[in-house]
Structure 1
Amino acid sequence: MKRYVINGVFSIDGLVQEEADIPRPGCRQVLVRVRAASLNYRDVLMVTGAYSRNIPQPLIPFSDGAGEIVGVGEGVTRWKRGDRVIPTFFQNWLAGGITREAPASALGGARDGVLAEYALFEEEGLVELPTHLSFEEGATLPCAALTAWNCLYSGNLTCGNTVLVMGSGGVSCFALQFARSAGARVIATSGSDAKAERLKALGASDVINYHDPDWEKQVTALTAGEGVDIVVEVGGAGTLARSIRATRIGGHISLIGVLAGQQGEVNPLPAVMKGILIAGIYVGSREMFQAMNRSIVLHRLHPVIDRVFPFDEARDALRHLQSGSHMGKVVISIP
């Protein structure tokens, strides 16, 4: 089989395609013929060494994929050959809150990921691919979609809430779609007029240019001086202070990203005085994934896919994501 690996060189050009034997499923394992993989910003950081250089090597990168089961090991009862499935980001976070052990089961980091023609998974580390979605669409769900879902529902999203999403990457687009399907209003930020129009077409009521140095004041004005109920905070240190000012008293900030910086100082007093809950979000469990998929099926949602690259152009796909010119998800097809 063909696969890509990180092996001693941390750079996009250093990502190596090689031939390897097709693995065989052991007890309670399934073999999946991977049909598509999708990219997250984490994958760029992992390949370039900015995420961590203390990873097992050679490592197959990328956490998100979809495919069909072609082999089952002894004791497997949940799946059969031919089932269309999606691996979970954390292979052993099944339900409840995140545990100390969960990060050690993360695909494309602690464990081999999905940028290969075949991959092995624990039988409990998979969910069913919704029937109305293609492999390419299903591959977008494990990290970005589930992170967006967790961001919203850890903030107790309800009909009539107002949600702030930042930019037009995968998490923000999914959060917009999920919030609108729940009957919430969505205010978005974008630095592109073209992307702003596409965000409005997805259901955003208003789009603010994030190059405006006082964009949080516009958010407050759009909410009659109150602020939003939930912020999906993908910026990090560079935007958190503004997000606090844009959030209502008693509101919720789901903190997931570092796109606007990993280091900085934020005065915590405004969050304290407003009683804002700031929660770190790290993807989610299989139980959350299954709940999200039920909603996706009910509302017949389709992920926003920017571009699909062929398998042999995986490095170009990474560069495209790194450029920030995409909207939604970047996907690799694995024929």
Structure 2
Amino acid sequence: MDTKPSIPETMRAVLLTGFGGIDKLVYREDVKVPQPGPGEVLIRVGACGVNNTDVNLRTRWYDRDVNESLSENVGLQGAGDPKKADAETSGTWKEETIVFPRIQGAAVVGTIAKVGQSVDSSRIGDRVIVDPQVRDLSLPERAQLVAYLGGERDGGFAEYVVVPAENAYKVQSSLSDAELATFPTSYDTAEEMLVRARLGEGETVVITGAAGGVGTALVQLSLIRGARVVAVAGAAKEERLRALGAHHFVAREIADVRGAIEALVGERAVHVVADVVGGPFFTDSLKLLCRGGRYSTAGAIAGPIQSIDLRDLIYKDLEMFGITCPTPDTFKSVIGHVASGRLKPLIEKTYPLKDLPAAQGDLVKRSHVGKLVIIP
């Protein structure tokens, strides 16, 4: 007797209907269930993490004519000139036009419900964690991103989602789907930042935005490497970040963050800055670094346009890395850490699918530590 659950014709999903505010997210119960094409699998979504990339795309913050920080107001109302917020405006990392409606959600965990042509049917029933980066491996390593889940193609804020079979990694873990959904997007980004920066044992790393999804991942992954962690975040989050293992904490609200860090570790004594915030602190980041130091960034929500003193870059022989597309090996490394129990999932709150607008609203308030997760 076949005990596999049947696949309905329609599903519940939240549709992003255009660029703008929270009102652009529309909950529906009559969305057609997608069908896997050749080399693809259909996943019954168990949980999907909420990430800044969802808000950045919805608000049109990725567009190059937007120079403002991703404040709470921007996160709720949208960015830039609303007259330009239409389907002809590019709105993704790749500066491509978004086709609406779009289902967002990059951090997917679930079960394979159906396979497309050329995919082994034995994969049906596999519990999987999804790498959101759809790549063309024939391209150069740092230029392989061809689509991102929830951006150029539909994602996991729905009951079902289709992904390439190679992006769905079978996982064996005692963690819940919601706990596993904290890892994609955040932890692979963080791991890539540290891989590129070559953070080593005994080195000092400064982590901005240390309480967010990527930030808490950076803290844990830096500790695995044996590094000395200086966490920068809102003052109210100090206790939880110290409990996570951060050696030092500096409140981002103080007038002289750079001076406070130097008082803790010394002048020009930082080996790596792992920055997911950007904004005015960028200039101080380079001044904190020792000779041969490395700056790695994967976010600029505090402001993307900043000044740089090229003498810091040149005369200290610094290296700078921009991170958008982690490699498959990086994603596999994160899964290895998860399977071994070395990484701790940090969930602030879970929400039902229909409350995705509330979840994104909470995300832009920046009062959480760890991740917000949708459970369809």
Q: Normalising by the residue count of structure 2, what TM-score does the alignment of the two structures yield? A: 0.83
Partners in 1 of 2:138 and 2:215 — Cα distance?
Answer: 24
Please give the per-residue CA displacement for 1:81-117, whole angstroms capped at 9, x wherever unaligned.
1111122121125699645451x31111111111110
Please give the per-residue CA displacement for 1:19-54, whole angstroms capped at 9, x wherever unaligned.
222222222211100111111112112222333443
Partners in 1 of 2:138 and 2:248 — Cα distance?
Answer: 35
SS at structure 1 position matched to 2:243: helix
SS at structure 2 position matched to 1:152: helix
Partners in 1 of 2:259 and 2:193 — Cα distance?
Answer: 23
Q: Which of 31, 56, 73 is matched with 1:45 structurally?
A: 56
Q: Can you give the 5+ residue segments of structure 1 that lack an aligned partner in the other structure? A: none
Between the two proteins, the alignment pairs up a number of residues equal to 332
Residue aligning to 1:197 = 239
SS at structure 1 position matched to 2:230: strand
Partners in 2 of 1:78 and 1:213 — Cα distance?
Answer: 59
Does residue 290 (structure 1) correspond to residue 300 (structure 2)? The answer is no
Q: Which of 16, 34, 37 is matched with 1:23 structurally?
A: 34
Cα drift, residue 65 of structure 1: 1.3
SS at structure 1 position matched to 2:220: helix
Does residue 92 (structure 1) correspond to residue 103 (structure 2)? The answer is no
Residue aligning to 2:112 = 69
Residue aligning to 1:128 = 170
Partners in 1 of 2:122 and 2:246 — Cα distance?
Answer: 39
Residue aligning to 1:209 = 251
Q: Aligned-residue CA RMSD in angstroms?
A: 1.9
Does residue 325 (structure 1) correspond to residue 367 (structure 2)? The answer is yes
Greater mean deviation of Cα atoms: 93-102 or 239-248 = 93-102
Contact 1:93 1:99 in 2 (8 A): no
Contact 1:67 1:84 in 2 (8 A): yes
Partners in 1 of 2:160 and 2:353 — Cα distance?
Answer: 13
Please give the per-residue CA displacement for 1:241-295, whole angstroms capped at 9, x wherever unaligned.
1111121111111011112201222222112111110110114122210012112
The change in CA–CA distance for 1:9 and 1:229 in structure 2 (over 3 A counts) is closer
Contact 2:14 2:353 in 1 (8 A): no
Residue aligning to 1:33 = 44
The change in CA–CA distance for 1:78 and 1:263 in structure 2 (over 3 A counts) is farther
Residue aligning to 2:295 = 253
Contact 2:186 2:214 in 1 (8 A): yes
Partners in 1 of 2:13 and 2:301 — Cα distance?
Answer: 29
The change in CA–CA distance for 1:181 and 1:47 in structure 2 (over 3 A counts) is same
SS at structure 2 position matched to 1:252: strand
Q: Can you give the 5+ residue segments of structure 2 that lack an aligned partner in the other structure? A: 1-10, 64-88, 90-96
Contact 1:237 1:258 in 2 (8 A): yes
Residue aligning to 2:318 = 276
Partners in 2 of 1:173 and 1:79 — Cα distance?
Answer: 36
The change in CA–CA distance for 1:287 and 1:140 in structure 2 (over 3 A counts) is same
The change in CA–CA distance for 1:285 and 1:94 in structure 2 (over 3 A counts) is farther
Contact 1:127 1:289 in 2 (8 A): no
Does residue 6 (structure 1) correspond to residue 25 (structure 2)? The answer is no
Residue aligning to 2:99 = 56
The change in CA–CA distance for 1:5 and 1:156 in structure 2 (over 3 A counts) is same
Residue aligning to 2:78 = none
Partners in 2 of 1:181 and 1:286 — Cα distance?
Answer: 20
Cα drift, residue 64 of structure 1: 1.4
Q: Which amino acid aligns with 2:290?
A: R
Partners in 1 of 2:129 and 2:290 — Cα distance?
Answer: 37
Contact 1:66 1:129 in 2 (8 A): no
Please give the per-residue CA displacement for 1:161-211, whole angstroms capped at 9, x wherever unaligned.
21111131111100001111221111111222x311110000011101122
Q: Which amino acid aligns with 1:27?
A: P
Partners in 2 of 1:170 and 1:56 — Cα distance?
Answer: 27
Contact 2:45 2:158 in 1 (8 A): yes
Residue aligning to 2:273 = 231
The change in CA–CA distance for 1:101 and 1:288 in structure 2 (over 3 A counts) is closer
SS at structure 2 position matched to 1:110: coil
Counting aligned pairs with the same residue, the percent is: 32
Q: Which of 80, 100, 108 is matched with 2:123 structurally?
A: 80
Contact 2:142 2:325 in 1 (8 A): no
Contact 1:28 1:76 in 2 (8 A): yes
Cα drift, residue 313 of structure 1: 0.6
Partners in 2 of 1:72 and 1:320 — Cα distance?
Answer: 36
Q: Which amino acid aligns with 1:88?
A: D
Residue aligning to 1:174 = 217
Cα drift, residue 9 of structure 1: 5.4
Partners in 1 of 2:140 and 2:242 — Cα distance?
Answer: 34
Please give the per-residue CA displacement for 1:117-170, whole angstroms capped at 9, x wherever unaligned.
001111112223351322112212221111110111111122212111113111
Q: Which amino acid aligns with 1:123?
A: A
Partners in 1 of 2:207 and 2:172 — Cα distance?
Answer: 25
